[in-house]
Amino acid sequence: MRLRLLAALIPIALTACVAMPSEEAAVAVAATAPYAELDRTIAGDWRDAKNSARDVYRHPRETLAFFGVRPEQTVVEITPGGAGWYAEILAPYLRERGQYMAAVVDPARVEAGRSRDYQQKTRSTLEAKLAATPAQYDRARVVAFDPKAPVFGPAGSADVVLTFRNVHNWVADDNAAAWFRGFHDVLKPGGVLGVVDHRAKPGTSLETMKDSGYLTEALVIQLATAAGFRLDAKSEINANPRDTADHKNGVWTLFPVGRHDPEEAARYREIGESDRMTLRFIKPSS
């Protein structure tokens, strides 16, 4: 009787063992749920067609998944620009359960002149974009800050801080360290800083980086670690091996700016957008 019972139980036990996923598989299955929602958001018909056309260069699905952005998080995007390229994705994705914060430069904190006019136009354009589609953007928040002493929100309030193709501007202005300290302050312990920027060849001088808009990974890692972050991972999601990073007008030679002679248009269009580093940093819990 015991032998017959054991024989009957063995197939059940074996079936249970086969059906039981590994820990890695369970994590992978769990991770797909928010990113299916992200896929639907990226495909949203509210997105500007010109922005969607650049997905092939910017890989928003892979990039946001690499940074671990989930729909229930508070995410601060640093200077999203008037076009709000990532705002079109992040604000709707976070709308129901999370919070999207667009951190913009306060024009009143900038010296009067072309710089202030630019910052005012950028802020106004972004706010108008968000207001025009309330069904997707009505819960997005715009927070203004002083670029000389950046504060991006209450200390320890954000799960993720994201910056796309901005660090080179702060390096050129010699105030990048203050921005990274601001990122560290606003993040919760264990929070993520995601950085995408134009990538220079290792060993490129600081002056060349300032002039070209391309930065070495080593410099960005140095800035982040000096502010208290730990490098968690790198990705080649946004790499472009066709980009030599040595163009006469720096990164602005390439699409979408296209600062080149008309007869060179086909050549630079073939290159596409810049080669980019994609770095994930963590604010240590202790």
- Give Cα separations from 74 to 35, 122, 139, 159 (angstroms): 16, 23, 12, 5
The whole-angstrom separation of Cα 143 and Cα 141 is 6
Domains of the chain: 23-282 (3.40.50.150)
Burial bucket for residue 266 (CB in 10 Å: 0-12, 13-18, 19+): exposed
The whole-angstrom separation of Cα 156 and Cα 283 is 10
pLDDT tens-digit profile, the chain (286 residues): 433 433 443 333 333 333 333 334 433 444 456 789 999 999 999 999 999 999 999 999 999 999 999 999 999 999 999 999 999 999 999 999 999 999 999 999 998 888 999 999 999 999 999 999 999 999 999 999 999 999 999 999 999 999 999 999 999 999 999 999 999 999 999 999 999 999 999 999 999 999 999 999 999 999 999 999 999 999 999 999 999 999 999 999 999 999 999 999 999 999 999 999 999 999 999 7
Q: pTM score, two decimals?
A: 0.88
